[in-house]
Amino acid sequence: MARPRTPAKILEMRGSYKRNPSRRREEPDASGPLGDPPAYFSGAELAAWNDIASGAPRDVLTGSDRITVELAARLLANSRVNWADFTAAKLARLEAMLGKFGMSPADRSKVVGGGKRNGDNPFAQLLE
């Protein structure tokens, strides 16, 4: 399996663009709040959405993640309502989605919330 792509912000901090400025790439801005859950959710799906939204690290989930959070909430609700018929494939998919949101100890270190900016870093001036 191929190695995951290194985010542009990490490459910038490493100084990769100083050596190779032609490799600079811009990543889309995924700002904006996650928002309220869909109105058509059932009670179990609503509870799952709220658990995911409140359990994810701060500023990680944005409006761009609404569809993925919806899918994860439906899977989580399905697992809670009908665990006996919840397949291993669905469980693996749910675990992968929650991991992408930084909702496990190992994955939490891999995500950076949108609230972190260079202005928040007291060492940002050293990077310039």
- Residue-wise pLDDT tens digits, 14-40: 788 888 788 777 766 776 888 899 999
This prediction has a pTM of 0.70
Count of domains observed in the chain: 1
Residue 34 lies in a domain: no
Residue 117 lies in a domain: no
Residue 96 lies in a domain: yes
Residue 10 lies in a domain: no
Please give the residue range of the domain that contains residue 58.
Answer: 39-110
Residue 8 lies in a domain: no
Instruction: Please choose, from the candidates 109, 107, 127, 111, the residue with its C-alpha nearest in 3D space to the C-alpha of residue 61.
Output: 111
Distance of alpha carbon 24 from alpha carbon 18, whole angstroms = 9
118 pLDDT above the threshold of 70: no
User: Quick check: helix, strand or coil at residue 9?
Assistant: helix
- Note whether 107 and 99 are within 8 A (CB): yes
